[in-house]
Amino acid sequence: MSLKVTSEISILVPLYNEEEVFNSLILRLKNVISETSFVCSVYLINDGSYDKTYNLINEICAIDNRFIGIHLSKNFGHQYAVAAGLSVCDGAKGAMIIDGDLQDPPELIHQFYTLLEQGNDVIYAVRKNRKESFFKRLLYKLYYRLQKRISNFNIPIDSGDFSMISRRVINQLNEMPEKDLYYRGMRAWVGFKQVPYEYERDERLAGASKYSFKLLFNLAYKGIFNFSDFPIQFITRLGFFSVLISLLYFGYNLYRKLFYNDIPQGFTATILAIFLFSGVQLISLGVIGQYLLRIFKQVQNRPLFIIDKIVKKDDSNIENKE
């Protein structure tokens, strides 16, 4: 499903409780799309916000036909809000994906579009410097390098969802059957001609980040389990290693029994062995469970998202929530 708005580039902006930054976001987007030499449409995707974001989207869409509001039926999550935008966007040449907190400057659309016109299908932004806390920056750095090392294909380091993708990439992403979405990995897997663009990431303009550590870890799990077979290989090797240790320990005790008529006394060795192998088994079950969970989600075949309402200028269904 796509809306007939006839633009060259669609700008997709997932929003979740962004009333504090909304007016600044709209002002900058208006300035950007007024200065472009190509026609743009802006899709404001409301991911189940419970503040004034719903009403603010309706207000701008009622007066400016360049803005289209997509209201999801509940909070599905950032990646699924992006999926909703990709499923309906009209950009004939492609789409730009940008967060609503203005950490990613919308003004880069000019540079991205130039690279798109040069024949690139994916222009992904690479963050040169991050403004988060030292601990968070350290976790990001470790994760991206771990991911690059264990992935089955190259997922660029320090790149997020901020990007511009061509229409044929959009079409391929829309056809992918994944239920656990991790767009920076899916985008890299699709292939075609991809090019990085380095930029300085700004601090969040207002409000707090909607990505808690729990959500960040869930996203990291998707990046690891959806695009790597390393966890399965790791527990297989760990299993062989555990068997080897057991055989060596058995041989050591047999040697002492045969030649010295002596067997180690006490619970200590036994308890340590039990804890070691129980730990290995629990880790193995956890890793297998992660893959089974992903299979379970696939066979459920539930929709990735549900669109409650699409609003645009001259739409008689636009209404505000009190």
> 72-91, pLDDT tens digit by residue?
988 888 888 998 999 888 88
Residue 320 is assigned to a structural domain of this protein = no
CA distance 25 to 41: 14
Helix (H, G, I), strand (E, B) or coil at 183: helix
User: Is residue 78 located within the same domain as residue 200?
Assistant: yes
User: Is residue 112 located within the same domain as residue 90?
Assistant: yes
pLDDT for 232 equals 66
pLDDT mean over 178-187: 77
Closest alpha carbon to 220 in 144, 125, 288, 320: 144
Instruction: Quote the longest CA-to-CA distance of the chain.
Output: 94
Tell me the angle at which helices 213-225 and 183-190 cross, rounded to the nearest 10 degrees. Answer: 30
Q: Which CATH number does the domain housing residue 74 bear?
A: 3.90.550.10
User: Is residue 214 located within the same domain as residue 257?
Assistant: no
User: Is residue 210 located within the same domain as residue 249?
Assistant: no
pLDDT band at 322 (very low <50, low <70, confident <90, very high): very low
User: Is residue 209 located within the same domain as residue 83?
Assistant: yes
Q: How far separated are the first and last CA of the chain, in Å rounded? A: 30
What share of the chain has pLDDT > 70, as a percent?
Answer: 63
User: Is residue 219 located within the same domain as residue 247?
Assistant: no
User: Is residue 191 located within the same domain as residue 160?
Assistant: yes
Which are the contacts of 185, defined by CB distance < 8 A and separation ≥ 6?
151, 155, 222, 223, 226, 227
User: Is residue 186 located within the same domain as residue 142?
Assistant: yes
Structural tokens at position 310:
């699409």
Structural tokens at position 16:
């979740």
Tell me the angle at which helices 213-225 and 230-260 cross, rounded to the nearest 10 degrees. Answer: 80
How many other C-beta atoms lie within 10 A of the C-beta of residue 123?
A: 25
User: Is residue 138 located within the same domain as residue 242?
Assistant: no
User: Is residue 277 located within the same domain as residue 134?
Assistant: no
pLDDT for 152 equals 61
Which helix (H) or strand (E) element contains residue 163? strand 159-166
pLDDT band at 197 (very low <50, low <70, confident <90, very high): confident
pTM for this prediction: 0.71
pLDDT band at 20 (very low <50, low <70, confident <90, very high): confident
User: Is residue 266 located within the same domain as residue 155?
Assistant: no
Q: What is the DSSP letter of 197?
A: E
Cα angle 81-78-205, degrees, rounded to a multiple of 5: 115
Edge-to-edge, what's the strand order for the sheet holding 67-72?
Answer: 194-200, 122-129, 159-166, 94-97, 9-15, 40-46, 67-72, 307-311
Closest alpha carbon to 167 in 224, 90, 106, 231: 90
Enclosing domain of residue 128: 9-226+303-311
Antiparallel, parallel or unpaired: β 159-166 and 122-129: antiparallel
